[in-house]
Structure 1
Amino acid sequence: MRPVVFLGPSLPLSEAQDILDADYRPPVKRGDVLHLEGAEVVGIIDGVFLQSCSVGHREILSLLNRKVRVIGGGSMGALRAAEMGHYGMTGVGRIFRMYASGEVQGDDEVALVFDPETMEPLSEPLVNLRILLDEAWMADVIGDEHRARILSEMRSIYYPRRTVATFLEVARRTLGDKNAGAFDRFFADNYRDIKKEDAITVLKFIKDVCERR
């Protein structure tokens, strides 16, 4: 039986289908996994946050108790895998490791708003911006104080309003004219969609699991 994968704005469906033949479902919400019949492998990448109730821990535990292999990463999957790892859920990817280590904690780090018809992201997940700031600091493009101030201001913004344009505006205001240009160039050259990268990692991991079964 094909694996079931809950996917949304983290990766376009067409790209996912090129990687893994699966039964793709929209972002997981409360109750969705309770209706899976016969699934042996379930991948959770995207899930809803405020649009409706999020997938519950007990629901995932019910799958694990039925010996279903549950694999998560990228977004909601990374968060739940970090919380449910000691019950047997498998976490994959950088964002999962950040949650598991405690480097990030809030649900809103991976939250974004998206078009429910096209799944196109309409805001930017904070975790992508956090990683970009860390890399800019390590490259000596910004100082540690500026990094902390920019991140703090972005965290204070309600997640649907977190966009790349807002992020760059905050950075320019914080850094001032002298340093803003260098940061803009660094952003243009080094921005990466970590959620997308992790979604691809999850699908490749599931493919490997299925081939080994």
Structure 2
Amino acid sequence: MSSDNGPILVFLGPTLRLAEAEKVLDAVYLQPAAQGDILLAAHAFRPRAMVLIDGQFEDRPAVRHKEILWAMAQGIVVIGAASMGAIRAAELDEFGMIGVGLIYRWYRRQRLSRIPAPDDAVAVHSGPAELGFLSLTESLIDLQRTFSVLMRRGRITPAERDQLTATARAMNFRERSLSAVVEGAGWLQDRCKGLREEMVRQKRRDALLALSNAPRLVAERESTDASHGWVATNTFLRDLEAGGIDSNLVNTYKLNP
């Protein structure tokens, strides 16, 4: 089972620079999580908690709900924020996953709405691991927050806010950037510099909030029994094996030692 003295693991990518994160929380930092990574990381590090911020979803299947539920069944506290973590926390908070930040709350509110929030609202195109997953585009959520703040400050009109937001939403996440949105809306590029200086990095804010609060949240959750039952499904086991992961790992941690 998870150890009270085990480390906190953080799955981090383009949302926050590693050097900045390390100043906030002493943890083991891993690459953005994909299918099977939570299972493998649990066996490798025997952590007391995991903080899911960034996840992969293009070259590899996204981290599955089932493996997060598996981790929590082992007594591992799981926190989600900012990006993929916010999405999974909004989907699994009723099962014990802890969500942190504005983006998590936004996804939670939108979960049962007539038009759910799109997953790609937090997606960005990033560089390779060798470059620290440097973000090459802006997320839709950061752009929307920026346009709303600029409108409240009187820097742009409500009509301009709506125009910029609609332009950003129509773009593929691999192409979204402030300059591309400004150009797509038919604005002169000289307006982009002024807007960029007031860019709202909501994903970064939420990630920092999750990291700074992680020790307290973990301690609070460890003092209560928030675990839920976990049952493997054939589909989940087949998916693991298709990804080259030994499905027997789900039975050799705590549930069936």
Shorter-chain TM band: 0.7 to 0.9
1:19: which partner in 2? 24
1:3: which partner in 2? 8
Shift of 1:208: 2.8
Contact 1:72–1:90 (CA under 8 A) maintained in structure 2:
yes
Shift of 1:25: 0.6
- Alignment pair present for 1:52 and 2:60: yes
Over alpha carbons, which structure has the higher Rg? 2
Shift of 1:6: 0.3
> Aligned to 1:97, which of 93, 105, 108?
105
Question: What SS does the corresponding residue of 1:114 show, helix, strand or coil?
Answer: coil
For 2:13, give the aligned amino acid. Answer: G
Contact 1:10–1:195 (CA under 8 A) maintained in structure 2:
yes
Shift of 1:77: 0.5
Question: Which whole-Å CA distance do the structure 1 matches of 2:203 and 2:93 have between them?
Answer: 19
- So what's the TM-score if we normalise by structure 2? 0.74
> Aligned to 1:130, which of 144, 148, 155?
144
- So what's the TM-score if we normalise by structure 1? 0.88
Question: What SS does the corresponding residue of 1:161 show, helix, strand or coil?
Answer: coil
Question: What SS does the corresponding residue of 1:72 show, helix, strand or coil?
Answer: strand
1:77: which partner in 2? 85
Question: Which whole-Å CA distance do the structure 2 matches of 1:165 and 1:204 have between them?
Answer: 32
> Aligned to 1:148, which of 162, 165, 186?
162
Question: Which whole-Å CA distance do the structure 1 matches of 2:196 and 2:26 have between them?
Answer: 34
Per-residue CA distance 1:16-64 (angstroms, 9 max, x = gap): 1111111111000001011212222110000012221100111111112
Question: Which whole-Å CA distance do the structure 1 matches of 2:161 and 2:21 have between them?
Answer: 34
Question: What SS does the corresponding residue of 1:160 show, helix, strand or coil?
Answer: coil
- Alignment pair present for 1:110 and 2:115: no
Question: What SS does the corresponding residue of 2:59 show, helix, strand or coil?
Answer: coil
Per-residue CA distance 1:45-103 (angstroms, 9 max, x = gap): 00012221100111111112222110010111011111111111001112111111229
Per-residue CA distance 1:152-183 (angstroms, 9 max, x = gap): 22111111011121022234x2xx67xx97x6
Greater helix fraction, Structure 1 or Structure 2: 1
Shift of 1:139: 2.4
Question: Which whole-Å CA distance do the structure 1 matches of 2:205 and 2:73 have between them?
Answer: 30
Larger mean CA deviation between 190-199 and 19-28 belongs to 190-199
Per-residue CA distance 1:83-126 (angstroms, 9 max, x = gap): 11111100111211111122971111110111112111111111
Shift of 1:188: 3.8
- CA 186–135 in structure 1, closer or farther in 2 if over 3 Å, else same: farther
Provide the aligned length of Structure 1 versus Structure 2: 207
CA RMSD of aligned residues (A): 2.1
Contact 1:136–1:186 (CA under 8 A) maintained in structure 2:
no
| Structure 1 runs not aligned, ≥5 long | none
Question: Which whole-Å CA distance do the structure 1 matches of 2:192 and 2:23 have between them?
Answer: 33
Shift of 1:140: 3.2
Contact 2:107–2:117 (CA under 8 A) maintained in structure 1:
yes
